[in-house]
Amino acid sequence: MGFWVECILFALLSLALQYVGGCDFFRGKWVPESDPSSYPVYNSATCPFIEREFNCEKNGRPDRNYLTYTWQPHDCNLARFDGEDLLRRLRGKKIMFVGDSLSRNQWQSLTCLLSTSVPNANYTIDRVDDVSTFTFMDSGVKVMLDRNVYLVDVVRENIGRVLKLDSIQSGKLWKGIDMLIFNTWHWWNRRGAAQPWDYIQVGNKTYKDMDRMAAFRMALTTWGGWVDSNIDPSKTMVFFQGISPSHYNGTDWNEPTAKTCQGQHQPLLGSTYPGGLPPAVAVLKAALSKIKKPITLLDITNLSLLRKDGHPSIYGLGGRTGMDCSHWCLPGVPDTWNQILYNIILNNKAMHS
């Protein structure tokens, strides 16, 4: 009963978070772009540093239809992404994505959108340990990525690699950042050789394994405590990238003969995904409802569920020997995530210069 009460409370809270300027940016449908010649905004020529695993065009994807759809909210129009304007608003500020490869997907999208908007801008790209920094020299804007798949710590000890659900020492990297966009989920169900830990620790108790959804909930609670203890809302905007979905089972979108996302060329019509939302969404929203400091959920799950056509499939890092229906082609769906992020910033007076 308590869990569902939390979900209802979050639904009420999200009215304030999502209805920016009286519009819910996350409820809508995908429509063909009215001027296809203007899309995509960038490609592998105008953004030559797209990472290979996201560069579907360069990897040989023959169809381009997936590049010509735009997200249309039900109750308003999204302002087109304007990189020059965003760099002006964020002059001298630091933006950091914190999370797994889906955060990297969105970080890469934003760097491409910005650099294409100002093609003659001077920029540098640096990496120190797990943090990459894309710096626009003229505006002093830093767009950063901290690779952190669980948010909480994984520590090597005598018994092996320990996932500590109540420890978040890596939070020291997030202090002093003007805008933080967090994400975690993609790695929580990894098992076998792909699992980067050997034990789970909660307090003084160590477990060989535990219910992964319960572990996810505990980690989000620890992260929420860090936010409440360390974030000054007058100095830092905090976002959480919602659960980015995968498409490995066509039954979920009423196409049972489809075993993967390969060969999907267009979005689902309408606004509702037949297979419903992943259970992790409810856990995330319940955890966010407990955090006292303001956090904006980039509630990208449903709009991304409708884009079964947007994944690399065999045009990703693994090529024809792999099948990637988890990440997203660039250009592609993460550009819309960033367009919505930009529209939220437009409506946030604190970010106006």
Respond yes or no: is residue 324 known to be catalytic: yes
| Range in 20-24, 228-232, 315-319 with the lowest mean pLDDT | 20-24
The pLDDT value given to residue 39: 78
Catalytic residue among 186, 247, 311, 327: 327
Residue with tokens 């965003």: 86
Domain ranges of the chain: 28-351
- Reported as a single tens digit per residue, the pLDDT across 103-138 is 999 999 999 999 999 988 899 999 999 999 999 999
Contact status, residue 284 vs residue 344, Cβ threshold 8 Å: no
Classify strands 199-202 and 205-207 as parallel, antiparallel or unpaired.
antiparallel
- Reported as a single tens digit per residue, the pLDDT across 303-325 is 999 999 999 999 998 888 889 99
Respond yes or no: is residue 101 known to be catalytic: yes
Mean pLDDT over residues 180-207, rounded? Answer: 96
The pLDDT value given to residue 349: 56
| Range in 213-217, 263-267, 347-351 with the lowest mean pLDDT | 347-351
Contact status, residue 29 vs residue 306, Cβ threshold 8 Å: yes
> How far is the C-alpha of 113 from the C-alpha of 152, rounded, in Å?
30
Contact status, residue 280 vs residue 213, Cβ threshold 8 Å: yes
- Average per-residue pLDDT for the chain: 92
Contact status, residue 86 vs residue 346, Cβ threshold 8 Å: no
DSSP per residue over 67-100, as a string?
Answer: GGEEEEESSS-PPPP-HHHHHHHTTT-EEEEEES
Whether 19 has a pLDDT exceeding 70, the answer reads: no
Contact status, residue 338 vs residue 113, Cβ threshold 8 Å: yes
Whether 236 has a pLDDT exceeding 50, the answer reads: yes
Catalytic residue among 14, 101, 103, 109: 101
- Reported as a single tens digit per residue, the pLDDT across 54-96 is 999 999 999 999 999 999 999 999 999 999 999 999 999 999 9
Whether 199 has a pLDDT exceeding 90, the answer reads: yes
Cβ neighbourhood burial of 198 (10 Å; 0-12, 13-18, 19+): middle
The pLDDT value given to residue 36: 72
Helices 333-346/101-117 angle, 10° precision: 70
- Phi, psi (deg, nearest 5) at residue 131: -110, 120
The pLDDT value given to residue 342: 97
> How far is the C-alpha of 146 from the C-alpha of 176, rounded, in Å?
14
Mean pLDDT over residues 315-337, rounded? Answer: 94
Whether 147 has a pLDDT exceeding 90, the answer reads: yes
Q: What is the 3-state secondary structure (H, E, C) of 242-283?
A: CCCCCCCCHHHHCCCCCCCCCCCCCCCCCCCCCCCCCHHHHH
pTM of the complete model: 0.92
CATH homologous superfamily for the domain 28-351: SGNH hydrolase (3.40.50.1110)
- Reported as a single tens digit per residue, the pLDDT across 283-298 is 999 999 999 999 999 9
**What percent of the chain has pLDDT above 90?**
85
Q: What is the DSSP letter of 313?
A: B
The half-sphere exposure of 76 on its side-chain side, counting CA atoms within 13 A, is: 16
Catalytic residue among 100, 252, 324, 335: 324
